[in-house]
Amino acid sequence: MKPKTKPVVVVAGLGDTGALIATRLSRTCSVIGISTRPALMSGQELGNRLTQPDDWRKTYLVPYRRFRKLDPAEVVHGRIASVDLDAKSVTIESADGAKRAQRYDYLVIATGASNGFWRNDRIEDLATVETDLVAVNAEIGAASTIAVIGGGATGISVADNLARAGSADVHLFHSGSQPLPGYHPKVRSWIGSVLSSDGVTIHPDHRAIEPEGFTRDRLTHEPVEWSTGQAAFAADVTIWAVGGVRPHSAFLPPSMLDDEGFILVDEHLRLPEHPEVYAVGDVAASDPLRSSARNWGYRVVVANLKAAMAGRSKKLETYSAPDYRWGSILGLQRDGLTVVQPNGKRFRIPHWIAKPLLLNVFVERILYGGLRGR
C-alpha cells in the first residue's frame, strides 16, 4: 500500500502568529514556513526593545533553530512573491535571489503589516537585524529630547518606557483629546495619569505633518510641524508611531483585499472563495480592530485546518473579538506587568512572578512549545 502523504501547509510569514501556527502543525502536516528573517522577530514591546534590548531579545528575537517544534518543518528564508490561488501554488523568492514554485494543500497567510521602523517585510539576515537594533538604540540613547508621535499602544509604550529610563525629556504628541483609541474609556483615562507620573509630557490635539515622501521607517531629526496650528517642536529625535499601517498583501489579487489592502476573511478566518486559504494576524480584516493576533486567531486557524483535513468542515470554529483592545501596554516593568482588559479593568502580575511564569513558562514553554538553549 502506498504510504499516506501528509498535507502540505505553506505558512507565509513566521511572525507572532505564523510561528505559533507552524509549531502546532509541524508534526501532522508537511509544513513549509516562509520567513523574511531566520528568527522570530516580534513586533511586540517596542518600549522594552528600545530601553532594555537584552531582555527584549531573550523573548522576542528568537532564531527558529531554537524552536523544538519547528524541527520537522522546512523553514525557508525568503518571502512570498505571488500566489496562484487556482493552481494552489506560491512563488517563493529566497534570500539568495532564487525563485521556486511551491504547491500547497492549505495556505496560511500571516505576513503582518508595517507600521514603523520596527516592523517591515524586507528579507534580512540576523547580522543586519542586530546592526539596525544597535544603531536605533544608539541614536535614541544620544538624545536629550525625544518626541514620540502617536497615541496608540506603541507610542504610549515607547514614551513611557523612555521616560522611566530617565535619560531624556520625553514628549508624547497625539491627535485626539485622549490617547489609546480602541481601548475602553477607563483605560484611556488611567493611562494619562500613568504617563504623567512617569515623567512624559503629553501634548493632546496635535496632528503632525509628515515630511514629504516619508514612509515612517526611520527616526527623524528635523522640527515637527502640526496641521492643528501649534508651533513647530524641535527634538533631538522623533519617533513616528502614528499607526498608519501598510499590510503585506501585495502578492494577492486586489479582489481578495479590502480598500486598505487587508485580506478579506470569513468568520472562520478563510478567504471566502478559497476555503483552503487562511489569513490571520495584522494582515487579516478579521474584525474592525484587526486584532486576531492577540485574540488567539492562531487557535482558530489551527483548529479549522485540522477539522478540514479530517473531513469535518461543517464543524469549524468561529473567530470573535472583543469590542475593545486589551493586553499589556507598557510591558514588564520593575513593579510588574499590568494587563488591561476589554471591560476596562486591569490587573498586575508582580515582577517576581511575571518573569519566570509569564516569559519563561507561558511564552517559551507553552506558546513557543519549548526552546533550545542559545
Ligand X SMILES: Cc1cc2nc3c(=O)[nH]c(=O)nc-3n(C[C@H](O)[C@H](O)[C@H](O)COP(=O)(O)OP(=O)(O)OC[C@H]3O[C@@H](n4cnc5c(N)ncnc54)[C@H](O)[C@@H]3O)c2cc1C
User: What single-letter amino acid sits at 144?
Assistant: S
Provide Rg for the chain, Cα atoms: 21
User: Minimal distance in Å, beta carbon 333 to ligand X?
Assistant: 14
Cβ 90 to ligand X shortest distance, Å:
9
Q: Would you say 236 or 251 has its CB closer to ligand X?
A: 251
The nearest distance, CB 310 to ligand X, in angstroms, is 25
Q: How far is the CB of 198 from ligand X (least distance, A)?
A: 18
Residues engaged in binding ligand X (CB under 6 A):
12-13, 15-18, 34-36, 42-44, 79-80, 110-112, 119, 121, 153, 248, 251, 281-283, 293-294, 327-328, 367
Residue with Cβ nearer ligand X (118 or 173): 118
In 33-86, which ranges are continuous DSSP H helix? Answer: 46-51, 53-60
Q: At what angle do helices 153-165 and 185-197 cross, to 10 degrees?
A: 20
In this complex, which beta carbon is closest to ligand X, that of residue 110 or of residue 269?
Answer: 110
Distances in Å between the alpha carbon of 33 and those of 18, 90, 97, 111, 259? 8, 12, 17, 11, 28
Whose CB is nearest to ligand X?
15
Q: Which of 292, 262, 256, 258 is nearest to 275 (CA)?
A: 256
Nearest to 282 by CA among 303, 260, 267: 260
Closest distance to ligand X from the beta carbon of 91 (Å): 10
CB of 23 to ligand X, least distance (A): 12
Separation CA 150–CA 133 (nearest Å): 21
Pick the closer one to ligand X by CB: 80 or 208: 80
C-alpha cell at 7: 498535507
Judged by beta carbon, residue 143 or residue 245, the one nearer ligand X is 245
The answer to whether the beta carbons of residues 325 and 182 sit under 8 Å apart is yes
- 95's CB contacts (< 8 A; 6+ apart) are 77, 78, 123, 125
Residue 342 C-beta: closest distance to ligand X, Å: 12
Least distance in Å: CB of 110 to ligand X? Answer: 5
Q: What is the per-residue DSSP string for 112-156?
A: -EE-BTTB------HHHHHHHHHHHHHHHHT-SEEEEE--SHHHH
Considering the complex, state which of residue 37 and residue 268 has its C-beta at the smaller distance from ligand X.
Answer: 37
- Cα–Cα dist 279/258, whole Å: 13
Q: Closer to ligand X at the Cβ: 32 or 143?
A: 32
**Partner residues linked to 328 by β-bridges:** 339
Of the pair 49, 143, the CB lying nearest ligand X is at 49
